[in-house]
Structure 1
Amino acid sequence: MDPVTLARWQFGITTVYHFFFVPITLSLSFIVAIFQSVWLRTRNLAYLRLTKFYGKLFLINFAMGVVTGIVQEFQFGMNWSDYSRFVGDIFGAPLALEALLAFFLESTFLGLWIFGWDRLKPKVHLATIWIVAVGTALSASFILAANAWMQNPVGFHIDQTQNRAELDSFLAVLTNPVFMATFPHTMTAAWLVGGGFVAGVAGWHLWRINRAGRLTEQAEDVNAFRWATKFGAWVLIFAGIGVSLSGDFQGKVMYQAQPMKMAAAEAAFTDGTEFSLLTICPVDKQSEEHCRAIKIPGLLSFLAHGNFTEPVPGIVTTQAEYERTMTPRLEQLYGPEVAQRVSRNFAPNIPVSYWTFRMMITLGMISVAIGVFMLLFLRKSKSGHQRLPRTRWWLAAFIALPLLPLFGNSMGWIFTEMGRQPWVVFGWMPTIAAVSPGVPAAQVLTSMIVFTLLYGSLAVVEVKLMLHYIRKGLPEDVQEPKVVEHDDEPLTFAY
């Protein structure tokens, strides 16, 4: 295997692994803040117990996200030095703001939230977790702005002497149409994960208590978990609506910025208007004569254009257009050898693009459906009794619920990044020109094995910690925090 393939595998493994923690952090920070706000308003200790229970799980996830996220920065210098040189002037501003503003905002106020239960006034303490939540959203926005520039470069010019991109307008980067579409889609998808996580964990506890026949002994826990389950289910439903609306907007923007990605997502070699629900097709042939597909007429046109009749260019048409417009630019920037190699096939991996797009949608829809059924089941029966889950079917649903939207998010990001290939910066820098020229394949392979083993070990630690504290359930003997009177009182670690 050549260094480019190995470097792509390493970046893919570490990035997808890191992204497992991102949507949970983005959503759970806000959910914990909501729980604490409800407690402060009602003074009902059940909400305080939920705050501390889910707050502990949030802290474990946040720590793992920070540890795994640091490696992403290292990889730019390790395996992608030419890429770093090309985009350095563009990425400097958003990544610096992400580190100096968003990350320090998160870490500083998260520390105040952890240690400030008996040091800060309740409203001030509540403000700290809300600032953490806002910080996570800001962090995501700056990272997504940088990624959106890779998908749709704007506000820059090429320095011909150094062959690198230089920033003309940071405002153009922050108002990039791809960023404006990606940010709400990513945030609502993260809330889909958070809702599934809250509902799944709380619902599992309801199932466990009911199966053990301890409804009377643990009545307070049942009431708290039942409320949390319904809350998570409502979050799932509203987030699902948000994902659908923002996804439709993002699809139209994606078509305008990267028409080949739209064609690859459909495995459509010829122009058409139909959306494929399922296609079995020999992707090495540039013809759809040999395909077997179930299609919805007009839906692809609606996703791309907003109407049901205008054809969407297929892979063959888009390939010809890319050859006409992009090959001369590649020859000028990287020489005829690189231009010829890239221009041979401007389409990404068709099976990966096709199936990850559909898996993303399917997993999200199943998650929302479970949330709807959960709400319907947990409503009061006609006799006025509270219905609680007991069968093993519900156990399977509660275990799957946090995982389905999480994997759906991952499929979405794999589609987004793989669908951009063969470009690392769409239209300007091919992936084969972005790797570090002096790093041999053996060195990349070694670092990939080390990181994979390290991440595997961290996964074991993460899963064990999460399962341990999930099984422990709501904290017992929770009292309303009392602010200390003297400065020399020791700090209390609340977890």
Structure 2
Amino acid sequence: MEALDLARWQFGITTVYHYFFVPVTIGLSLLVALMQTQWMRTRDTRWLRLTKFFGKLFTINFALGLVTGIVQEFQFGMNWSDYSRFVGDIFGAPLAIEALLAFFLESTFLGLWIFGWGRIPEKLHAAAIWLVHIGTLLSSYFILAANSFMQNPVGYRVNPETGRAELTDFLAVLTNPVQLVTFPHVITAAYMTGGAFVLAFALWHLWRPGTPRTDAPMYRRAARLGAVVVLLAGAGSAISGDLQGKIMTEVQPMKMAAAEGLYEDVPEGEGAPFSIITVGTLDGREEVWALTVPKLLSYLATGSLDGAVEGIDHIQERYELTYAGAELTAAEDYRPVIPVTYWSFRLMIGLGLAAMGVALAVLWRLRGSATARDDREEDRPVLRHRLWGWAAGSVLFMPLLANSFGWIFTEMGRQPWLVMGLMTTRTGVSPGTTTGEVLTSMVVFTLLYGALAVVEVKLLLRYGRAGAEQVPEDASYDPADRDDDDAFVFTY
């Protein structure tokens, strides 16, 4: 394999791995903030217990996400120096703001929240976790602004003397049409993941034998909250995803055609179908059998059931004419890897719908209050069928993997472009990097990430199985209740 191929594999591995933590951080910070606010409003200690329980799991996830995210910055200089040289003036601006503003907002107020129990006033302490959540939103916005420039370059000019892209309109970068539809889609998907995280742990405690019956109402609340968030966020993700598809068709028609494996143009009036599943050749050019929804692709692409949709072959011909001879963008094949785009698009949608199905089933099962029989049998779980155990174990990974497949589709569907219309991936790799150097760093990072995955899973299982700790019924966590000689210790 060439250095280019290994560099792409390394970036893909580290990016997808890092993104496992991002949506959990965004979604869980909101839910923990809601739980603490509900405790302050009702003074019900069950909400306090849930706040501290999921706050502990949130802190573990945040720490691992921080460690894995640092590597991303180094790769731009190590493996993609020509890319960094070309768009560094533009790409660096939102990333710098993300680090100096959003990340410091997150980390500073997370520290205040972790160590501030009983040290600062309750309202200020609750405000800290809300500011952490706001920080995650700002961080996402600036990072997505940088990525959206790669999908649809705006607010720039290419200096012919230096051969670099220079920023001319930062507001245009922040209000990129791709950015305006991608941000709500990513955030609602993150809320869905956070809701599934809460739902999974609460559902497991309702299912497993050994959970105290007195804790069942508390975990019911958590399960219902998580399920409601999954459903609402899932609906928001579907709506924003529909809008994103129409913008994507305008600026990246090849990506939409590749999502369906559509090679021939579908003219106005016919309506392009959307296949749920297809059996045929791997590249989708020859179809043996397919389960399709008539005219759905036209609606996803244009908003009309009879809208015209360009095919892969026509777009390839148009791109060959458009970019022929361009020094920075010369490429022979402008088609992405069709099997990857086709199946990642469907796995993203399918896993999201499956998570919503589990959430709906949980809400139906937990409707009303506990039965008298449940109250009498102290040693039996609330949800007794083993299918609920499987549901608890799988619902967490459904939106988590849906997020990952969504990013794989977004990035792979842009290929062979690194920056759409300006730079191909092959021209962005570091020219002096050897195959051995990239292979060595890829192996080291992969092994390191594997070790971190073991640490993450062990910590989550350890504290997740322990459940929510007991707190005094009259707990206030007011600074006035603490003695001056109390030790300043980590709350958890």
What is the letter of the counterpart of residue 347 of structure 2? Answer: M
- Match status 1:365 vs 2:361: no
**Match for residue 355 of structure 1?**
343
Aligned to 1:326: 323
CA distance in 1 between partners of 2:114 and 2:24 (Å): 18
Correspondence for 1:452 among 428, 446, 450: 446
State how far apart, in whole Å, the 1-side matches of 2:359 and 2:128 are: 30
Q: Structure 2: how far apart are the matches of 1:150 and 1:191?
A: 25
| Percent identity between the two aligned chains | 56
Residue 148 of structure 2 is matched in structure 1 by: 148
* Offset from partner CA, 1:366-412 (integer Å, 9 cap, x none): 00001001000111379777793111111000100111110111000
Inter-partner Cα distance in structure 2 for 1:254 and 1:388: 46
CA distance in 1, matches of 2:159, 2:373: 72
What is residue 257 of structure 1 aligned with on the other side? Answer: 251
Q: Distance in 2 between matches of 1:178 and 1:384?
A: 54
Q: Look up the match of 1:126.
A: 126
Matches within 5 A, 1:396-415: 396-415=390-409
Identify the residue that residue 175 of structure 1 maps to in structure 2: 175
Shift of 1:489: 5.1
Residue number in structure 2 paired with 1:52: 52
Structure 1 residue 416: deviation in Å? 0.4
Q: Is residue 89–residue 165 contact of structure 2 (8 Å, CA) maintained in 1?
A: yes
TM-superposed deviation, 1:295: 1.8
1:299 match: 296
Aligned to 2:279: 280
Counterpart for residue 186 of structure 1: 186
- Runs (4+) of structure 1 exceeding 4 A deviation are 381-387, 484-489
Amino acid at match of 1:292: W
Residue matched to 1:309 = 306
Give the Cα separation in 1 of the matches to 2:117 and 2:490.
Answer: 8
- Amino acid in the other structure paired with 1:74: F
* Map of 2:437 onto structure 1: 443
Q: 1:473 is matched with which residue: 451, 460, 467?
A: 467
The residue identity in structure 1 corresponding to 2:300 is L
The alignment's TM-score, normalised by the length of structure 2, stands at 0.94
1:91 equivalent in structure 2 = 91
- SS of 2:396's equivalent in the other structure is helix
1:145 partner letter: A
| Distance in 2 separating the partners of 1:176 and 1:388 | 49
Task: Summarize deviations over 1:57-84 as a string: whole Å, max 9, x none.
Answer: 0000000000000000000000000001
Matched residue type, 2:280: C
TM superposition shift of 1:42? 0.6
Give CA-to-partner distance per residue, 1:177-218, whole Å, 9 cap, x none: 10001000000001111111101100100111xx34x6xxx2
Q: Is the 8 A contact 1:118 1:492 kept in 2?
A: no
Q: 1:283 offset after TM fit, Å?
A: 4.8
Residues paired across the two proteins, number: 478
Task: Describe the SS at the equivalent of 1:18.
Answer: helix
Q: 1:165 aligns to what SS in structure 2?
A: strand
Give distance in 1, aligned partners of 2:264 and 2:283.
14
CA contact (8 A) 1:45 1:480 kept: no
The DSSP-based 3-state class of the residue aligned with 1:40 is helix
Give the letter for the 2:52 counterpart: K
- 1:326 CA displacement: 2.1
Q: Distance in 2 between matches of 1:149 and 1:451?
A: 27
Name the counterpart of 2:160: 160
Alignment correspondent of 2:478? 482
Whole-angstrom distance in 2 between the partners of 1:175 and 1:318: 27
| 1:28–1:194 contact (8 Å) kept in structure 2 | yes
Q: CA deviation at 1:262?
A: 0.4
| Whole-angstrom distance in 1 between the partners of 2:52 and 2:333 | 53
Work out the CA distance in 2 between the residues paired with 1:248 and 1:88: 31
How big is the shift at 1:493? 1.8
Aligned partners of 1:200 and 1:399 also within 8 Å: yes
Q: Return 5+ residue gaps in structure 2 as ranges.
A: 267-271, 375-380
| 1:492 Cα deviation after fit | 3.2
- Structure 2 residue identity aligned to 1:361: I
Alpha carbons 2:336, 2:414 under 8 Å: kept: yes
Deviations 1:324-363 (A, max 9, x none): 21224x23x36xxxx2xx1x21010000000000000000
